Amino acid sequence: MSTTIALAGKGGVGKTTISGMVVKYLMQAKEGATLAIDADPSSNLNMVLGLDLEWTVGDIRENLLSQVKQSLTAGGAAMGALNGGVSKREFLDYEIRTALSEGDRFDLIAMGKPEGQGCYCAVNHNLRDVIDAISKSYRYVVIDNEAGMEHLARRTTRDVNHLLIVADPTHRGIVAAERIAGFRKEMDINIENSYLILNRVPNNVIPPALQERIDQMDLDLLGTVPADLQLAEFEFSGRPLVDLGDDSPVYQAIAGMMGRILE
């Protein structure tokens, strides 16, 4: 049985960086393979993980719809099949497995761009089933979400064991995190545990006024991640963040948090 860890947060708070550190921790400290799902349309988790990205699920979806249109003249699409008798589900399963980017004890799927014009309901239903089926083969699933967590609502039927909401150490950042946390009560999937992670905290010390605001939230503070010059150098140079040393203060902070919730 797999454990699902989902991350959310407004743009620019370092959510994808923390997602990469979570994958690094699981790769080094836990048994079993990890599936990373990049559900942010910007699709840059692969750069954090040091993987090439040739295809996204969005590309596969558009390719399928193009083939459906071509097969309409032969009546195949109406019967749920493409040219050659291949079902849509079989096509998606093959294409998504082929599009997996493989790392060291982890793989990556990128969701890519959102839907364009046209009807996507049936395709999205099949996509959800395929991705859920693939996820069952992994011990851990890490989902890097867009801020509103729409991909969680539309792309999976999976329960989420741990939802990590990332914020920066500002009043505006906490308000945004609180709004994102409110979405979890409107979703059709079960979220067992929800936490706040405060990222890029100067000297790793929370100002008293900000701490008071955090204490009022309906969300437990899991921990803080310090601002770190070495991580900034990695980001500016384009080096994969998973190559950060185990002594990195950022990695140490994330590893400590993951150790607590996964024990």
Amino acid at 227: A
Higher per-residue pLDDT: 50 or 187: 50
The closest of 19, 9, 7, 5 to 251, measured between CA atoms, is 19
In the block, tokens 């505006």 appear at 172
Q: So what's the pLDDT on residue 40?
A: 80
Q: Domains plus CATH for the chain?
A: 3-54+100-116+133-262 (3.40.50.300)
Which of 118-122, 134-138, 142-146 is the least confident region? 118-122
Q: So what's the pLDDT on residue 11?
A: 85
Average pLDDT, the chain: 85
State pLDDT tens for residues 159-194.
Answer: 899 999 999 999 888 999 998 888 877 777 789 999
The answer to whether the pTM exceeds 0.75 is yes
Q: So what's the pLDDT on residue 55?
A: 83
Is residue 154 pLDDT above 60, yes or no? no
Q: Are 137 and 129 within 8 A, CB to CB? A: no
Q: So what's the pLDDT on residue 116?
A: 55
Give the model's confidence band at 78: pLDDT under 50 very low, under 70 low, under 90 confident, else very high. Answer: very low
Q: So what's the pLDDT on residue 121?
A: 58
The three-class DSSP label of residue 200 is: strand
How large is the angle between the packed helices 249-262 and 15-29, nearest 10 degrees?
70
Give me the phi and psi of 76, to 5 degrees please: -65, -45
Helix (H) or strand (E) holding 127: helix 121-135
Is residue 79 pLDDT above 50, yes or no? no
State pLDDT tens for residues 181-239.
Answer: 888 777 777 899 999 999 999 999 999 999 999 999 989 999 999 999 999 899 889 89
